[in-house]
Amino acid sequence: MKREYIVVAFVNNQISVLNRITSAYLKRHINIESLNVSESYIKGVSTVVISAITTKETIEMIVNQLANAIDILNVDFYLQEDLIYKEMALYKVASKILDNKSSFDHILNNSNSRVIEINNEFLILEKSGSRNELEKLKDKLEHMNLLTGFSRSGNVVLHRESMENLMQKVS
């Protein structure tokens, strides 16, 4: 059965490591839905988070292949529910949203988002949450014909596992 699998890899922060990771997906003709690389809590080690829709067998093969790669220190795959993960999104909204103050307050409070910039033409809303939550707000603004721009980060994740266990795996 195909479903979304999130691969989390701790890698040396070096040139070409990311290409080696994505090549494992390319080789099997799998599209990457979201990808995020950022510094981890260990100096010189980056966290790579990739989500793709595929089967368990395939994701196991990918992870086994990646585990062999030299600059990949630790890699495993998860389902959404195994991880604490969030995405952040920015929404560019036409300033006419302010015409109806009560409706605007309602959106802001209901979606748990905040305004980070405002000018005559538009304002920028920022919201973090699950992909579903982000999509919900996007749909709503689109429906109201107010959305003029949208951008979303990849997944930012933390394991539920203890820090000691992880440090052991990586070092």
Binding of another protein at residue 23 (CB under 8 A)?
yes
Distance CA 88, CA 62 (A): 27
Written as six digits, the tokens of 77 are: 């795959």
Contacts of 109 (CB under 8 A, 6+ apart): none
Binding of another protein at residue 65 (CB under 8 A)?
yes
Distance CA 89, CA 125 (A): 8
Q: What is the DSSP string of 17-54?
A: HHHHHHHHHHHTT--EEEEEEEE-SSTTEEEEEEEEEE
Contacts of 62 (CB under 8 A, 6+ apart): 7, 24, 25, 28, 30, 54, 77
Question: How near is the Cβ of 159 to another protein at its closest, in Å?
Answer: 19
With tokens 């922060």, the residue in question is: 13
Question: How near is the Cβ of 20 to another protein at its closest, in Å?
Answer: 5
Binding of another protein at residue 30 (CB under 8 A)?
no
Residues 141-170 within binding reach of another protein (CB under 8 A): 170
Q: Which stretch binds another protein (CB under 8 A): 67-75, 86-94, 111-119, 121-129?
A: 67-75
Q: Which stretch binds another protein (CB under 8 A): 20-28, 81-89, 106-114, 139-147?
A: 20-28
- For residues 91 and 104, the answer to whether their CB atoms sit within 8 Å is no
Binding of another protein at residue 109 (CB under 8 A)?
no
Binding of another protein at residue 27 (CB under 8 A)?
yes
Q: Which of 100, 148, 165, 171 binds another protein (CB under 8 A)?
A: 171
Interaction site with another protein (CB under 8 A): 15-16, 19-20, 23, 26-27, 61, 64-65, 67-71, 73, 170-171
